[in-house]
Copies of this chain bind each other. A is one copy, B any other.
Amino acid sequence: MEMEIKKDIYELAEEISSLLEEGRYSEAKKQVNSLHPVDVAEVIASLDTRKQVLVFRLLNKNQAIAVFEQLDFEQQENLLRHFTDEGVAQILNQMSPDDRTELFDELPAKVVKKFLNLLEPAQRNIAASMLGYPENSAGRIMSPHIIDLKEFYTVEQALNRIRRLNPPEELAYTAYVIDAERHLRGIATLRNLVLASPEEQVGEIMNRDFVFVFTDDDQEKAAQIIQKYDLLAVPVVDQEGRLVGAVTIDDAIDIIEAEATEDLHRLAAIVTTEDEYLRAPARQKIKSRFLWLAILLVMGTFTSFVMQNFENVLQSVIALSFFIPMLTDAGGNVGSQSTTLVVRELALGKLEGRYLWKMILSEALIGGVLGVLLGIVAMARVVFLRESLLLGLVLAISVGIIVFISNLIGIFLPILFKKIKLDPAIAATPVITTIVDIIGVFIYLQIAQSLLPL
């Protein structure tokens, strides 16, 4: 019995690493073949290339495939480079088609072409047709090897067919009932089949109410359906409505996790990459952050233009400049909040039709109230510190207006982006901050100019 989850994969990696260095291969072999493939993949990820290849060669055939499927693309690519064509062919032919498609996605076209030629004809057809679907579509991550049944099968025949197909865990629990043209007629879960009596017909026990996605639909849509309806898999049909595969829950959970991370990164103006951030090389990390930072920096100088135009105001009351960071921060913070909320709701598909307008109205109200409240706080703070009622008033009014406007900008920008088919998350919070700065400084200095005796 494995006592809880492995505590430190790095300890394990060191253990195996020293076994390899001391040439104690049979011990290493025993260990890596007794571990869970997920853990072996993590161990491999933390070894150098030479040892990665060594460990991989020690794995039994089934374990090798399972471990390979769990590795990152770079590691998969790296390992394949060290294998003979025969070794590559063995792995690629036995990988699950969805994992293989994901790998091919990352490889240069030339390499994919070469690899496709190493596949058996049946696998080559599957791989080529999956690569034909759009990027991030359900067709790319579906599993084509699903359990298909006919309505007239008895439950006993159905169970025998499942035994013959010998599906892996992730595909074992949902059977798709099709007609002669492979049109989907219903779904029978393994639970339905096991609980039914052997002589019943599949058509009697199957569920005729089901949801499905098209091959071209977004992966996220498939994942959201699985989550919403508590399914283990959602069937995928082609444009003619013929069943071609299913997206399974293990992929859905990864998609939901990845989308959330992607939103987070975009909101912080980080160009998202497919790879895990932590393992990406420093050069790539700099690249994914620099571009936006530079654009924002240049955009930020527009605030200086605004201030330059009010040079005389600032010159006569230098104290005005002291509160600019506080004001722009307040606007930026409020705008970031509303952007974050809207981006998340948009990602979860919750802002549709009239609900959008309801929210915009409600946010206008919320922004107004927050503006008044924060205006009072600002006034209190300034008066308390500087005892100039007039400057306090200028600040209070400015904070109020800036908060109200920033809140709405934070709402509208992502919605606008979505409408013009851009990713709403690019309306990243730093972008909002910068826009709000320019507007905020203008409002502030305008109000100061009108109210202060200059």
Residues of chain A having any CB pair with chain B under 8 Å: 1-2, 4-5, 8, 10, 34, 36, 38, 159, 162-163, 166-167, 169-170, 172-173, 184-185, 189-191, 194-195, 208-213, 225-230, 232, 249-250, 252-254, 256-257, 260-261, 263-265, 267-270, 276-278, 282, 285-286, 289-290, 292-294, 296-298, 300-301, 303-304, 307-308, 311, 314-315, 318-319, 321-326, 328-330, 332-334, 336-337, 339-341, 343-345, 348, 350-355, 359, 362, 365-366, 369-370, 373-374, 377-378, 381-382, 385, 399, 403, 429-430, 433-434, 437, 441
27 chain-A/chain-B pairs, Cβ below 8 angstroms: A1-B185, A5-B211, A38-B229, A162-B195, A169-B189, A169-B191, A169-B232, A190-B190, A230-B250, A232-B232, A232-B249, A252-B253, A264-B267, A267-B268, A270-B337, A270-B340, A270-B341, A289-B337, A290-B370, A290-B374, A294-B374, A297-B374, A298-B377, A321-B324, A332-B332, A332-B430, A429-B429
Flag if A4 contacts B190 (CB, 8 Å): no
The 6 closest A-B pairs by CB, nearest first: A260-B260, A300-B326, A268-B340, A304-B322, A172-B191, A321-B321
Q: Give which listed residue, B293, B322, B323, B341, contacts A330 with CB less than 8 A.
A: B293
In the complex, A159 Cα to B145 Cα: how many Å? 26
In the complex, A413 Cα to B369 Cα: how many Å? 31
- Known A172-B191, A278-B345, A366-B282; contact A326-B353, beta-carbon cutoff 8 A: no
A sample of 10 more A-B contacts (CB under 8 A), given A227-B254, A264-B267, is A170-B230, A173-B190, A227-B257, A256-B257, A260-B260, A268-B336, A296-B333, A307-B321, A318-B321, A329-B332
Flag if B169 contacts A354 (CB, 8 Å): no
In the complex, A314 Cα to B311 Cα: how many Å? 12
**Interface SS, A side:** helix
Flag if B38 contacts A286 (CB, 8 Å): no
Chain B: minimal CB distance from A169 (Å) = 6
Chain B: minimal CB distance from A119 (Å) = 24
In the complex, A303 Cα to B359 Cα: how many Å? 34
- Known A232-B232, A256-B253; contact A325-B326, beta-carbon cutoff 8 A: no
- Known A211-B4, A265-B340; contact A296-B169, beta-carbon cutoff 8 A: no
In the complex, A217 Cα to B431 Cα: how many Å? 39
Flag if A374 contacts B321 (CB, 8 Å): no
Chain B: minimal CB distance from A202 (Å) = 15
Q: Give which listed residue, B159, B163, B166, B333, contacts A430 with CB less than 8 A.
A: B333
Chain B: minimal CB distance from A186 (Å) = 8
Flag if B433 contacts A289 (CB, 8 Å): no
- Known A278-B345, A382-B301; contact A354-B10, beta-carbon cutoff 8 A: yes
In the complex, A427 Cα to B208 Cα: how many Å? 50
